[in-house]
């Protein structure tokens, strides 16, 4: 007969956090939510650290370039969904990397011989209102001028009017030499009250633009997650089928980290995928793997070379893997088991492998519980699907606004690669549903509230970092009746009008 594990498989709702001594130092302003994303050795730092412990799920209904930009600006990271063409996914990654940077390559360029019609068509195509005018119409040609929306009037100027007649010539532009620091460039912008500062080399060839709005945006988003070139950080999901074509394209697009997207990470297919990436790119490309639910699965992926490991099978709100296959484990129990294995591995080898809790989050306090149980960061789908920045439609259903949300194992997604067990290239049966989630508004506003709750809980526990949360916080199991006791009870709650 099968080996029976008598330990109960538990969920987050079966636990509560015990308060600790709150000192005068334990205030939300002193709490840090920074956490490692990828493995590192004792005494060293992770190559990528998140400023908030959240990543968005590798799902069609969640993680496109729009959500990736919004989340990176708040300090988290998105993994662009892989159940699309290599070209489309790579373009989404490229869009995030180009969205905002201290030094931005010009992506809209013309020559002085072009016309106003060309300007309007280029603006409509690219969405950029600042156009670099160079001798050859490329982003690296000799800078001859600049065109912005203030240089022409569509209602009065002829579409055939040449750019040379209305552009601001280079002789009238304030520029900065290539090699100037971002701080120096911003000082020039403020001193001369500029919106755009062109950066040119010694031959007057255009290299970059620095925009005032990027400076303002950064000040509004102090937790912004950016790389050494001040570009937003973005991840991408891959599968174990077409990785030899997909990975090189994503790397070319500028992806910062990859993650194998699979419902079952304890497999030779994942090992082969990691081997390919590590052997062909000299261990320079970061890749997470999963999902697993126990020590054995964790150690298998660690030995295969995974840079982080995702934990959780069947716990997502739209996932029906447990119903369909009887496979999985309560998310809290899985996380506690893998976290223990992670700590033992670190003690034995001096190498720390971050773990990501994927699934099972229903309430905001579940996030704090997951972090206390050992997760370094959390992957969430339903949470992010509710926001304006997610890629799905906002609908009015039954008098309430909702957003569409569907699983990668649903017939709508048809992501058979995620559930691949070999054989035919098809989805054998559904492991996800098609659904709605209540519309919640802007990502930033909701995330600020969530972070506020987590920091408040941490202060009540007397801790100000996630490491302290893992090491010092005490958890208690709760009974079904104490769960009822924790909500409003034995009163008639007043209805509130909006």
Has 459 been annotated as catalytic? no
Which of 259, 319, 356, 459 is catalytic? The answer is 319
Beta-bridged to residue 441, according to DSSP, are: 387
Cα→Cα distances 431→89, 408, 440, Å: 23, 8, 26
Q: How far apart are CA 492 and CA 498, in angstroms?
A: 19
- The answer to whether 120 and 161 are in contact (CB under 8 A) is no
418 catalytic per annotation: yes
141 CB neighbour count, 10 Å cutoff: 18
Among 246, 382, 386, 418, the one annotated catalytic:
418
Among 373, 363, 378, smallest CA distance to 450 is for 363
SS3 labels along the chain: CCCCCCCCCCCHHHEEEECCCCCCCCCHHHCCCCEECCCEECCCCCCCEECCCEEECCCCCCCCHHHHHHHHHCCCEEEECCCCCHHHHHHHHHHHHHHCCCCECCCCEECCCCEHHHHHHHHHHHCCCCEEEECCCCCCCEEEEEECHHHCCCCCCCCCCEHHHHCEEHHHCCCEECCCCHHHHHHHHHHHCCCEEEEECCCCEEEEEEEHHHHHHHHHCCCCCECCCCCECCEEEECCCCHHHHHHHHHHHCCCEEEECCCCCCCHHHHHHHHHHHHHCCCCCCEEEEEECCHHHHHHHHHHCCCCEEECCCCCCCECHHHHHCCCCCHHHHHHHHHHHHHHHHHHHCEECCEEEECCCCCHHHHHHHHHCCCCEEEECHHHHCECCCCCCEEEECCEEEEEEECCCCCCCCCHHHHCCCCCCCCCCCCECEEEEECCECHHHHHHHHHHHHHHHHHHHCCCCHHHHHHHCEEEECCHHHHHHCCCCCCCCCCCCC
Catalytic residues: 319, 418
């Amino acid at each position: 007969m099968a080996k029976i594990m008598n330990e109960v498989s538990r969920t987050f709702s079966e636990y509560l956090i015990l308060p600790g001594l709150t000192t005068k130092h334990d205030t939300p302003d002193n709490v840090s939510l920074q956490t490692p994303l990828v493995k590192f050795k004792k005494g060293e730092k992770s190559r990528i650290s998140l400023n908030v412990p959240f990543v968005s799920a590798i799902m069609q209904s969640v993680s496109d370039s729009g959500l990736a930009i919004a989340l990176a600006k708040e300090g988290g990271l998105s993994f662009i969904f892989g159940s699309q063409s290599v070209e489309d996914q790579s373009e989404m990654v490229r869009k995030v990397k180009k969205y905002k940077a201290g030094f931005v390559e010009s992506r809209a360029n013309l020559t002085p011989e072009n016309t106003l019609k060309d300007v309007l068509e280029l603006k409509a195509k690219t969405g950029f209102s600042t156009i670099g005018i160079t001798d050859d119409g490329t982003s690296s040609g000799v800078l001859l001028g600049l065109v912005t929306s203030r240089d022409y009037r569509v209602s009065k100027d002829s579409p055939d009017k040449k750019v040379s007649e209305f552009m601001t010539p280079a002789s009238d532009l304030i520029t900065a030499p290539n090699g100037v620091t971002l701080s120096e460039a911003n000082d020039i912008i403020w001193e001369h009250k500029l919106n755009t500062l062109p950066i040119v080399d010694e031959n007057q060839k255009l290299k970059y633009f620095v925009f005032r709005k990027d400076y303002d945006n950064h000040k509004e988003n102090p937790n912004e997650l950016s790389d050494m070139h001040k570009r937003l950080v973005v991840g991408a999901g891959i599968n174990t089928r077409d990785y030899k074509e997909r990975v090189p394209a994503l790397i070319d697009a500028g992806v910062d980290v990859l993650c194998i997207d699979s419902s079952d990470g304890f497999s030779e297919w994942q090992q082969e995928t990691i081997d390919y990436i590590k052997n062909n790119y000299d261990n320079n490309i970061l890749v997470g793997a999963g999902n697993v639910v126990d020590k054995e699965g964790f150690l298998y992926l660690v030995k295969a070379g995974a840079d982080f490991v995702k934990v959780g099978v069947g716990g997502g709100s739209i996932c029906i893997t447990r119903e369909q296959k009887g496979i999985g484990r309560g998310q809290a129990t899985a996380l506690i088991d893998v976290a223990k294995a992670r700590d033992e591995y670190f003690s034995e080898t001096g190498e720390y492998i971050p773990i990501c809790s994927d699934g099972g989050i229903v309430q905001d306090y579940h996030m704090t519980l997951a972090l206390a149980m050992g997760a370094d960061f959390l992957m969430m789908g339903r949470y992010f699907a509710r926001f304006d920045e997610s890629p799905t439609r906002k609908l009015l259903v039954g008098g309430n606004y909702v957003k569409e949300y569907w699983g990668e194992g649903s017939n709508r997604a048809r992501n058979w690669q995620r559930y691949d067990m070999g054989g035919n290239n098809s989805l054998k049966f559904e492991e996800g549903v098609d659904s709605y989630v209540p519309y919640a508004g802007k990502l930033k506003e909701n995330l600020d509230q969530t972070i506020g709750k987590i920091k408040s809980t941490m202060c009540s526990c007397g801790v100000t970092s996630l490491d302290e949360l893992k090491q010092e916080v005490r958890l208690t199991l709760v009974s079904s009746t104490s769960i009822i006791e924790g909500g409003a009870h034995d009163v008639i709650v007043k209805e509130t009008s909006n």
